[in-house]
Every structure is written in structure tokens, then in C-alpha cells.
């Protein structure tokens, strides 16, 4: 609703405390609802006795005169609260002289629901919204900081379970990314409005209340209640989350020294307060001046703690609280001046978006998985089966290179290595051809019987020197998986398949028993219910007729009642036994289910690796084709069978060795050009 638009200004509203003696002739609210004019007679004490009237006009964002707490919240707080739920930092701050209504505006009358202030209403709205926005998971924490004479005080330190302040005490610390936090300030997780309000009241009680000539209850300290909000989309894949801080600030009185006859401790307080307020103003003015890149936030605890929450990239709304009485007109004037200076600050609210590294990795992994699947569909369409994309170890590469070299030189008849890399080779019935990955901007002429094809290659020579560019491709398709699975179950996987079947039988049998028992238990329960109803009815009836008593005056049971009671006892025993068995059987069922699942998984995994070993290219070799390995995207592939002859037309001398090597094996190795890229 009132989320600031980039480039807008801090919003400042003035609120006057209700009074029977409103100084109408001095304070004038213009009909535009935004402008306050103050007329002041020249002070006779300063020597000029001419009753001359001076007038000042302040144009703000709104006037809150004679308005309810509810309306104040609507005009001041709601927009900032909703912004915070979207991830914008926000600050609502009241300032003005002591007694002018800052605490009334922020906290309100804690004992009166209707007169509750912005803070309780904001907390209510936060939790209301959290409930409404079920597509996001929110976590909300509260902290309550008091700054008293430049000392930081944790107003919630007394809360049970709160960790004490660590060594070094409390301090405002800067975070990476420009934020600030208060070290040692307790953060309290809150899940409901009620818990949040309890914390607010607890903190209020702990506020240091200073006696003061003007208002005995007015606080001499600054108080910042911060609602820390984190929100994540409920869809797991979304690694982004947003955080925000909603600061609800009740500043100490802004009245100037000397006015109230302060002494001693109160004088010291007043000095600190004036200092922090004047630095607050300086910080605000520096923020307002876009040419200044240094803002003196660190000069006082107040400005430092609010560094990431004043103007700049967050929503800021200020309320200037004033008295309506003539006697306070000087302070009122000073408050309004402060207010109009504050109004100059520009805001460019920015959402605090973060990326969760764990979720991000999960998301990327998912993406890789999808891409692999897509790739494998492409491969299937391109008639390349069983590719995998894991990289090859160095030894494996070396072994393959050496075999290929020997094969090409003619010293090796078959690439069929055993031992550690014993997966490359010619499998009976599902043989591999030898292929050559050829870079793509040179020309190789491939001669197939009856036609000549020219293909572009890039750095052919390098591919020759670097034998790792040689790859294998299956030269015929593996059998369908379903068929192979049946074979596997009958042979290699027969043992595990047998165990799986046995477990399944046990599982089915246990499940049947569980159903039976459930039925029994439910029947027993129904019987217990009906018997006990009958018993009660019988007793009620007996009662209305008077209690049977023995000769000695002891109550006795009649026969029907006795038999019902015994029956009930019997049923209950039976029920307990059956229930026990039911529980045991349930556990057995889930255990058997677990065993069956395990067997099934093992059967499938063993089948997969058997299938891959038996019919498909070794994974390492497949990997070379498209990732990580020596094959780079853009290389032109690759070649089935041993039928075609080829001739190389190369314009680089380093291609000659390749040409020669290939010539030696030209009778055996031929290339069929497939036009598909590997990557």
C-alpha cells in the first residue's frame, strides 16, 4: 500500500497530543492536510517588545490531529510492515519532546486494547500476513534494544532461555553487504502474535524509566524493537530467500537542555540524548545530500544501530509528536524543523534477497540431472546408446590411449583390455567400433564405397597427437532392457531375486495378518463400547429404582450387572492382547517392507551395472564423448564399423603422422561420419 517508490522521500507525519487548550492562534493545520503553520510572537524576554508575529510553514506528508490509534497505524505503520514482509527493511520512528506522545504512538496504552499503538498492531499484522501467505515459509524473530547514555541494553535479556552476553559485551557490528547487527543482543523466535506481545511487554517493563520534571513516566532512552523476518518460497527448488528488519523506534525526548531544570544524572542523560539526536540529524542530512558518500553513522550508537534502516534502501516513516499547547511552542517549532529536514532524505527501497548455497547446489544438481536426461534422449534419437558423463581418470585415459595407439599401429589386433580397465573391448555380439573424434575446421575426406564426403575439422593434427581424442562407440544396439532383466533374474541375479520373492511372500502374509488383527481389535472395541453402554444404562435404571443393599447395608450387584461387568473385563483383556499383537505385527510389516525395498533396490542396481558392463560402453569412455574428457564440444564425431575406407586431405604437416598411422590400419578401421556433435 504505502511501499515507497524508488526515489521517493522519507515520509514524515506530525501528530499532536490532544489537549483542551489547543493553541489555535499559534498552530494552524492547513486544509491540504499536509501543512502546519506556526505563528510565534517575538519573545519579549529577548528584548524586542513589539508583539510582532513570525510565521513558519512546514509541508509534511500528513497531519494526525484527533485521530484514532487505528488510523495512525493505517497511515504510518501498515505500508512499512507489508514492505517488510516483501523483504524491504523498514523503520517507523517517533520523535519529539518528552510527553508529546511518542510512546503512546509506538506502544500505546498497554492496558487498553483499543488504544494499543503501532507496535502491537504491526505484530498482529505480521502474523496475520504470515498465516495468509501460505506459499511462503516465514521465520520471525524479535529483539528489543535500548540505548541509554550510549550504553546498549538488551531489554529481553531477562527472558527465560536467553543466552547471556558473550565476552566483549554488546556492540554494533557491521556485516558484509552493508548491514549492521548488534552483537550480544538476544534474538527471540516468535511463532504467534501472543508470544510477540509477551516479549514487547517484558521489554517495556525493563525500560529504564527516568524521573523527569516534565513527565515522570517518559523514558530517557531510545528503544528499538526489531522484527526480523525471513521468508522462503515453499517450493524447495527456490534457493532464493528474502530477509528484512522492521525497526519500531521510540526515541528519547528531544527537548533542549536547560529548559526543564535538569540536574546530575538527568542532565547527563539529556546530554547524551541531545548528542545522539543531533547526530541522528547529521546522519539524516548526510543521507539527504546525495553528493556526500560518507554518512556519519558511527558517531553514536543510535545512528550506527540504525545504519541499514534509515532512508537509503529501506522504507522510513517518521512521526513528529508535538504538544498542542502554547507553552510548548518553542519545542514544537524545533520538532517541526527537525521533521522538515528529515523529509529531504531520499529512499530507494531494495529487497534484501539472498541465495541459499545449499538449496542452490540442490537446484543446480537437479538442473544437471534434467540436462543429462535431455542429452540421453538426444543420444537415443541419434542412435548413440548408454552414454554417461562422468570424467575419466588419468590412468584410464592413459590405458585407452596406449591401446588405441597400438591398435592403430597394427601391433594390437583388438582393443580388449583386461585388469583394472578391463571394460574397453569388443563384446561378443555387441561389438565396439573404433572411432575418431575429429576437430571441425579442417577437411577430412571420408571415402565410403561409392561416395566421398568432406567434413570440416579443426586442428586435426592435435587430435592425432593427442590420442585421447580417440573414442569408442558401440557398433550395435544392446538388447532391450526388459528382456535383459528377465535374463538377469534367471542367471546372475537369481539369488537376490529369490530372496526378494521370499521376502515378498512374508510381507504379504504379515499384511494379511495385520488386516485380520485390525478387524479383531475394532470389533473388540465396538463390543466394549456397547457393553459399557449397556452397563451404564442398567446402572442408571437401577439408580432410579434405588440401590440394592445387603442385610449389612453394603451395596450389592444384581446378576445382570454382574455379568455385564465380567463381560466387560474379559473384553478389555482380549482387546489389550489383540492390540499388543497388532502393534507387533505392524512393526513386522514395516520391517518386511523395508527388506523388500532393499532387495528390490539391490536387484535393480546389480542389474544396471551388469547391463552396462555387458552391453554398453564403459562409462569412462562414454564420458569422453561429451564432457570433461578430451572431447570438446564442436568436435565432429565418430564412426561405426570397420567397413569404410577413408582418405585424409590435410593441409598441415602435423596431420601426416595421423595420416600415416591411419593408413596402416586403413584396411581395418574406417570411419562413418555421423553429423552429430558430441557436446
> Choosing among ligand ADP, Mg ion, none, which partner's interface includes residue 215 (Cβ < 5 to 8 Å by kind)?
ligand ADP
User: How far apart, in whole angstroms, are the C-alpha atoms of residue 346 and residue 316?
Assistant: 10
| Closer residue to ligand ADP, CB minimum distance, 17 or 222 | 17
Look at residue 435 and give its three-state secondary structure.
strand
User: How far apart, in whole angstroms, are the C-alpha atoms of residue 10 and residue 21?
Assistant: 31
Q: Which stretch binds ligand ADP (CB under 6 A): 98-106, 269-277, 299-307, 444-452?
A: 98-106
Could you say which of 103, 231, 440, 463 contacts ligand ADP (CB under 6 A)? 103
584's grid cell:
507387533
User: How far apart, in whole angstroms, are the C-alpha atoms of residue 297 and residue 154?
Assistant: 21
Q: Establish if 104 lies at the interface with ligand ADP (CB under 6 A).
A: yes
What does each C-alpha distance from 420 to 97, 161, 234, 400, 412 come to in angstroms? Answer: 85, 59, 47, 12, 18
User: How far apart, in whole angstroms, are the C-alpha atoms of residue 335 and residue 12?
Assistant: 12
Could you say which of 143, 218, 221, 315 contacts ligand ADP (CB under 6 A)? 218
Longest dimension (CA), the chain: 129
- Map grid coordinates 548408454 to a residue: 386
To the question of whether residue 83 is assigned a binding role by annotation, the answer is: no
DSSP H helices in 382-415: 394-409
Q: Establish if 99 lies at the interface with ligand ADP (CB under 6 A).
A: yes
To the question of whether residue 386 is assigned a binding role by annotation, the answer is: no
To the question of whether residue 457 is assigned a binding role by annotation, the answer is: no
What DSSP assignment string belongs to 18-29? Answer: --TT--TTTEEE
To the question of whether residue 151 is assigned a binding role by annotation, the answer is: no
> Choosing among ligand ADP, Mg ion, none, which partner's interface includes residue 628 (Cβ < 5 to 8 Å by kind)?
none
Binding mask 235-274 for ligand ADP (x = CB under 6 A): ------------------x---------------------
Under rule CB under 6 A, which residues in 159-198 are in contact with ligand ADP?
none
User: How far apart, in whole angstroms, are the C-alpha atoms of residue 202 and residue 211?
Assistant: 20
Provide, rounded to whole angstroms, the least separation between the CB of residue 192 and ligand ADP.
27
Provide, rounded to whole angstroms, the least separation between the CB of residue 362 and Mg ion.
49
Q: Which stretch binds ligand ADP (CB under 6 A): 147-155, 215-223, 267-275, 619-627?
A: 215-223
| Closer residue to ligand ADP, CB minimum distance, 254 or 585 | 254
To the question of whether residue 585 is assigned a binding role by annotation, the answer is: no
Contact 465, 654 (CB under 8 A): yes
Q: Which stretch binds ligand ADP (CB under 6 A): 212-220, 359-367, 408-416, 449-457?
A: 212-220
Q: Establish if 215 lies at the interface with ligand ADP (CB under 6 A).
A: yes
- Map grid coordinates 604437416 to a residue: 653
Show the beta-strand stretches assigned E in 218-324: 222-233, 240-250, 315-322
Which is it for strands 315-322 and 90-96: parallel, antiparallel or unpaired?
A: parallel
> Choosing among Mg ion, ligand ADP, none, which partner's interface includes residue 665 (Cβ < 5 to 8 Å by kind)?
none
Show the beta-strand stretches assigned E in 72-187: 90-96, 136-148, 151-154, 171-174, 180-183
> Choosing among Mg ion, ligand ADP, none, which partner's interface includes residue 17 (Cβ < 5 to 8 Å by kind)?
ligand ADP
Look at residue 40 and give its three-state secondary structure.
strand
Provide, rounded to whole angstroms, the least separation between the CB of residue 77 and ligand ADP.
15
Provide, rounded to whole angstroms, the least separation between the CB of residue 235 and ligand ADP.
45
Q: Tell me the residue number closest to ligand ADP, measured at CB.
A: 101
Other Cβ atoms within 10 Å of 484 Cβ, number = 16
User: How far apart, in whole angstroms, are the C-alpha atoms of residue 21 and residue 27?
Assistant: 12
Could you say which of 89, 309, 321, 503 contacts ligand ADP (CB under 6 A)? 321
To the question of whether residue 372 is assigned a binding role by annotation, the answer is: no
Q: Establish if 388 lies at the interface with ligand ADP (CB under 6 A).
A: no
Provide, rounded to whole angstroms, the least separation between the CB of residue 277 and ligand ADP.
13
Binding region for ligand ADP (CB under 6 A):
17-18, 96, 98-104, 109, 215, 217-218, 253, 321
Annotated binding site for ATP: 96-103
Amino acid at each position: 500500500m504505502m511501499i515507497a517508490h524508488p526515489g521517493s522521500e522519507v515520509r514524515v507525519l506530525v501528530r499532536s497530543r490532544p489537549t483542551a487548550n489547543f493553541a489555535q492562534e499559534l498552530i494552524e493545520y492547513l486544509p491540504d492536510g499536509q501543512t502546519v503553520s506556526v505563528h510565534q510572537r517575538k519573545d519579549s524576554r529577548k528584548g524586542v517588545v513589539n508583539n510582532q508575529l513570525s510565521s513558519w510553514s512546514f509541508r509534511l506528508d500528513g497531519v494526525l490531529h484527533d485521530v484514532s490509534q487505528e488510523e495512525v497505524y493505517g497511515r504510518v505503520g501498515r505500508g512499512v510492515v507489508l514492505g517488510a514482509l516483501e523483504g524491504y527493511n523498514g523503520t517507523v520512528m517517533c520523535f519529539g519532546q518528552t510527553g508529546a506522545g511518542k510512546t503512546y504512538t509506538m506502544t500505546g496504552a498497554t492496558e487498553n486494547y483499543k488504544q494499543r499503538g503501532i507496535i502491537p498492531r504491526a505484530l498482529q499484522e505480521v502474523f496475520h500476513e504470515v498465516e495468509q501467505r501460505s506459499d511462503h515459509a516465514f521465520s520471525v524473530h524479535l529483539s528489543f534494544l535500548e540505548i541509554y547514555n550510549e550504553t546498549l541494553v538488551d531489554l529481553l535479556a531477562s527472558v527465560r532461555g536467553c543466552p547471556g552476553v558473550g565476552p566483549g559485551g554488546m556492540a554494533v557490528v557491521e556485516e558484509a553487504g552493508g548491514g549492521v547487527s548488534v552483537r550480544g543482543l538476544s534474538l527471540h523466535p516468535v511463532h504467534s502474535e501472543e508470544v510477540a506481545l509477551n516479549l514487547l511487554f517484558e521489554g517495556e517493563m525493563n525500560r529504564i524509566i527516568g524521573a523527569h520534571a516534565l513527565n515522570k513516566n517518559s523514558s530517557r532512552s531510545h528503544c528499538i524493537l526489531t522484527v526480523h523476518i525471513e521468508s522462503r518460497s515453499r517450493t524447495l527448488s527456490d534457493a532464493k530467500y528474502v530477509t528484512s528488519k522492521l525497526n519500531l523506534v521510540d526515541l528519547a525526548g528531544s527537548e533542549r537542555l536547560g529548559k526543564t531544570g535538569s540536574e546530575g544524572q538527568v542532565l547527563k542523560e539529556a546530554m547524551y540524548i541531545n548528542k545522539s539526536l543531533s547526530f541522528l540529524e547529521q546522519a539524516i542530512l548526510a543521507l539527504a545530500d546525495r553528493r556526500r558518500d560518507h554518512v556519519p553513522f558511527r558517531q553514536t550508537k543510535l545512528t550506527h544501530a540504525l545504519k541499514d534502516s534509515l532512508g537509503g534502501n529501506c522504507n522510513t516513516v517518521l512521526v513528529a509528536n508535538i504538544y498542542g499547547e502554547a507553552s510548548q511552542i518553542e519545542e514544537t517549532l524545533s520538532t517541526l524543523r527537525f521533521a522538515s529536514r528529515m523529509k529531504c532524505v531520499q529512499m530507494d527501497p531494495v529487497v534484501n534477497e539472498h541465495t541459499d548455497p545449499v538449496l542452490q547446489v540442490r537446484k543446480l544438481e537437479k538442473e544437471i540431472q534434467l540436462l543429462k536426461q535431455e542429452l540421453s534422449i538426444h543420444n537415443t534419437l541419434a542412435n548413440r546408446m548408454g552414454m554417461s558423463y562422468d570424467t575419466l581418470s588419468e590412468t584410464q585415459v592413459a590405458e585407452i590411449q596406449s591401446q588405441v595407439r597400438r591398435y592403430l599401429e597394427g601391433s594390437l589386433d583388438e582393443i580388449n583390455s583386461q585388469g583394472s580397465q578391463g571394460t574397453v573391448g569388443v563384446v561378443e555380439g555387441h561389438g565396439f567400433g573404433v572411432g575418431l573424434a575429429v576437430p571441425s575446421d579442417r577437411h577430412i575426406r571420408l571415402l565410403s564405397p561409392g561416395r566421398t564426403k568432406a567434413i570440416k575439422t579443426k586442428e586435426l593434427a592435435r587430435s592425432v597427437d593427442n590420442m585421447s581424442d580417440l573414442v569408442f562407440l558401440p557398433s550395435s544396439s544392446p538388447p532391450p532392457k526388459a528382456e535383459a532383466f528377465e535374463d538377469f533374474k534367471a542367471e546372475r541375479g537369481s539369488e537376490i531375486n529369490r530372496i526378494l520373492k521370499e521376502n515378498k511372500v512374508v510381507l504379504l502374509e504379515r499384511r494379511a495378518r495385520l488386516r485380520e488383527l485390525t478387524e479383531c481389535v475394532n470389533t473388540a472395541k465396538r463390543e466394549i463400547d456397547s457393553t459399557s453402554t449397556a452397563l451404564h444404562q442398567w446402572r442408571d435404571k437401577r439408580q432410579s429404582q434405588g440401590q440394592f443393599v445387603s442385610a449389612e447395608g453394603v451395596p450389592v450387584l444384581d446378576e445382570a450387572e454382574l455379568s455385564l461387568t465380567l463381560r466387560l473385563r474379559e473384553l478389555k483383556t482380549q482387546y489389550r492382547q489383540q492390540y499388543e499383537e497388532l502393534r507387533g505385527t505392524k512393526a513386522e510389516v514395516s520391517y518386511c517392507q523395508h527388506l523388500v525395498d532393499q532387495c528390490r533396490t539391490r536387484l535393480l542396481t546389480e542389474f544396471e551395472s551388469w547391463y552396462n558392463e555387458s552391453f554398453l560402453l564403459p562409462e569412462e569412455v562414454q564420458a569422453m564423448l561429451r564432457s570433461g574428457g578430451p572431447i570438446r564440444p564442436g568436435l565432429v564425431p565418430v564412426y561405426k564399423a570397420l567397413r569404410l575406407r577413408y582418405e585424409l586431405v590435410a593441409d598441415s604437416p602435423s596431420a601426416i603422422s595421423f595420416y600415416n598411422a591411419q593408413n596402416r590400419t586403413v584396411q581395418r578401421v574406417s570411419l562413418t561420419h555421423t553429423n552429430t556433435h558430441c557436446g
